[in-house]
Amino acid sequence: MTTTRAKPWHGVMTATALPFGDDLSVDHDAYAGHCRWLVDSGCDGVVPNGSLGEYQTLTPEERAGVVETAVAAVGGDRVMPGVAAYGAREARRWAEQARDAGCGAVMLLPPNAYPADEPTVIEHYREVARAGLPVVAYNNPFDTRVDLTPALLARLHAEGLIAAVKEFSGDVRRAYEIAELAPGLDLLAGADDVLLELAVAGAAGWVAGYPNALPESCAALYRAATAGDLATALPLYRTLHPLLRWDSRPRFVQAIKLSMDLAGRRGGPCRPPRLPLSPGDDAAVRAATEKVLASGLR
């Protein structure tokens, strides 16, 4: 278990998958155990209520309960909930709920009900920042249709509205422009399949999907990459990459949960509207996971 971090968003922050029972109710006991296992296996913290946690399918009571379960399991300084919502006031309420539960930071998408312009994005982050917790912006232009460009991130950071950014654009060149335009804004790798490239570029953390199934090897990859130990990191990255790239695909939730099942963890089903993987995708994830497990990685 890691014990020291400069900021609560630093290190390997696993965007947690959420276990459901046979009736698709949230299994809080299983989720608490999963959070503890991740931290015990080398991860620095957890990110509940992200897309991997299927937050869009949860009731308000379930969503609040997931945060409370994570905090009780691993401590609030290790919990950074997603607080995305269609409205800024609702997102602020989720940030306040996280604050009251004892969390150390929150992660926030831009407005995603429509392609918001720059003034709207800034006001959205301004409203949520009023909750008083550090905000990690989440740039996912594919799903939100809003691109948090380096210049826009610099404006948000200059106003004190964000402390870091989870970068999911896939454009690793942005790491250098962000560092130039917004010194002091922490960069977090947001897609598993560009972790090495962003670590070399100075990432201070990784909001990660595949540690749900393989926490020890993913944590080892992150620490080697951020230490500049490419002799260790590159072979490990090559071995894991056939799985890591599933984190950037539309059916990433189903893929990661299947890998969890194969690794002896509890992935289980997804809530509708997500369907099981197609036979071809199922076979591909199985083959990639089994190859990694056969190599001895966990």
Rounded CA-CA distance 15/4 in Å is 20
Rounded CA-CA distance 218/43 in Å is 8
DSSP state of 20: B
CB 222 within 8 A of CB 200: no
> What spatial distance separates the first Cα and last Cα of the chain, rounded to whole Å?
15
Q: How many CA atoms lie within 13 A of 12 on its CB side?
A: 33
CB 225 within 8 A of CB 237: yes
Burial code (b: 16+ CB inside 10 Å, e: under 16) for 279-296 equals: eebeeebbebbeebbeee
Q: Which residues are annotated as a binding site?
A: 207
Q: Which residues are annotated as a binding site for pyruvate?
A: 207
DSSP state of 246: G
Asked whether the bond before 134 is cis by omega within 30 degrees of 0, the reply is no
Q: Can you name the residues that pair with 188 across neighbouring β-strands?
A: 166, 205
Q: Which of 31, 138, 210, 237 is catalytic?
A: 138
7 is annotated as an active-site residue: no
Q: Which of 166, 210, 222, 257 is catalytic?
A: 166
Among 134, 131, 162, residue whose Cα is nearest residue 148: 162
237 is annotated as an active-site residue: no
CB 155 within 8 A of CB 192: no
User: Which residues are known catalytic residues?
Assistant: 138, 166
